[in-house]
Amino acid sequence: MISWLTLEAVADLMIALAMSYFLHRRRTGFRQTDTVLRQLIVYAINTGLLTSVLALAVMFAFALYGFHFVHMILHSRSRLRAELHSGKNGISIHLSHLPPKIHNQISDMA
């Protein structure tokens, strides 16, 4: 488990660095295009660094505490995402589940 999480962190960093390298090489000299490329580079580094840090945090939690579900706190994103996107095209909330005050406000708007 520790080697898998370490490899996950290393892979995330390598992907972020590779994306940054190839995006940097694609600069055109046009200000708007280069601005977009810089933003993509920053995004790639930030997301790669964030996922690497989270993978290392899970790895250290597993190494220090063993399998005591401490790492599940850090990997709760998928469960939350599934709850938020329960509808076919995003968040789905049936009107009957809304509080009466909000339901009345929506009815008054129609």
Q: For each of the chain's 110 residues, which pLDDT tens digit applies?
A: 778 888 888 998 999 999 999 999 998 888 898 999 999 999 999 888 888 888 888 888 788 877 666 556 655 656 656 665 555 555 556 666 767 777 676 666 65
In eight-state DSSP terms, residue 97 is G
Domain boundaries, the chain: 1-76
pLDDT at 23: 92
The CA dihedral of 74, 75, 80, 86, to the nearest 10 degrees, is 180
**The overall pTM is greater than 0.85:** no
CA distance 38 to 42: 6
Whether residue 98 contacts residue 90, with contact meaning beta carbons closer than 8 Å, is answered with no
Whether residue 8 contacts residue 50, with contact meaning beta carbons closer than 8 Å, is answered with no
pLDDT at 90: 54
